[in-house]
Amino acid sequence: VLRLQIGEQFRALLPNGKEALFTITAIGKSSLEVAMTGDIRSIPESVIADEERRATLPPLPPIILCQALPKGQKMDLIVRQAAEAGVSLILPFVSQHSVPRLDKSTAQQKLERWNRIIKEARQQSGSDVTTRIEPITDMKGLLEFWEQQKKITPNSQAILLHQDPLAQGTLHGYLEGNIQSVHIAVGPEGGFSDEEAAQCIEHGFKPLLLGVNVLRTETAAIFATAAVQVLLLEKASWILSNNSIA
């Protein structure tokens, strides 16, 4: 929006979550005046091309990001990036290595802030996924949430990002078949404890080591989300490729 001029158009989300096309009518030093237009003929070719591209993409199963609370303001960045990337649900939780220990009042303030960040991120990115964020829970709450999700969508997959190669499985292999939803569990600085990793694996989480580099927790979250999305989007292509090779 910052690069646009008077008369140019852009898409934005309305408070009701629906998308609309706007035309810039005036630009001030710190403000912008726009008019909502419904004239389909005035939509720029770039917007039409983007709509056509989106229409060709296969529907993705929901991606749920289970994020252990990191230090400082890192969670703000994680929430923003997750919303921009189209994550359906964010489940923040406190793990053994989480430094923040929030009281009820502070936790509620954080939740309200994260909801505002999600709204801004969706408006900025134009994401058509309604990202939600749950209240902060703990490891027990995370596992209970996962068990409940398995009852609703039995063909769901849960992936545990871990700093050690606990298994030989690959992300490609974990996402084979008719996946109904993908849960990604990311630890805080220091990762998951051995006890937490064992608990998650016992409940059906698949351990995964992302490459050879040690990633920051805020990097790991968006890295894993993007990797899952790309594999799911290209699943039809690599299934066809495998069949042709066979």
Confidence of residue 165 (pLDDT cuts 50, 70, 90): low
CATH architecture of 63-236: 3-Layer(aba) Sandwich (3.40)
Residue 216 tokens read as 């920051």
Q: What is the pLDDT of residues 109-159, one digit of tens each?
A: 999 999 999 999 988 887 888 999 999 999 999 999 999 999 999 999 999
Locate the domains of the chain by residue range.
Answer: 9-56, 63-236
Confidence of residue 10 (pLDDT cuts 50, 70, 90): confident
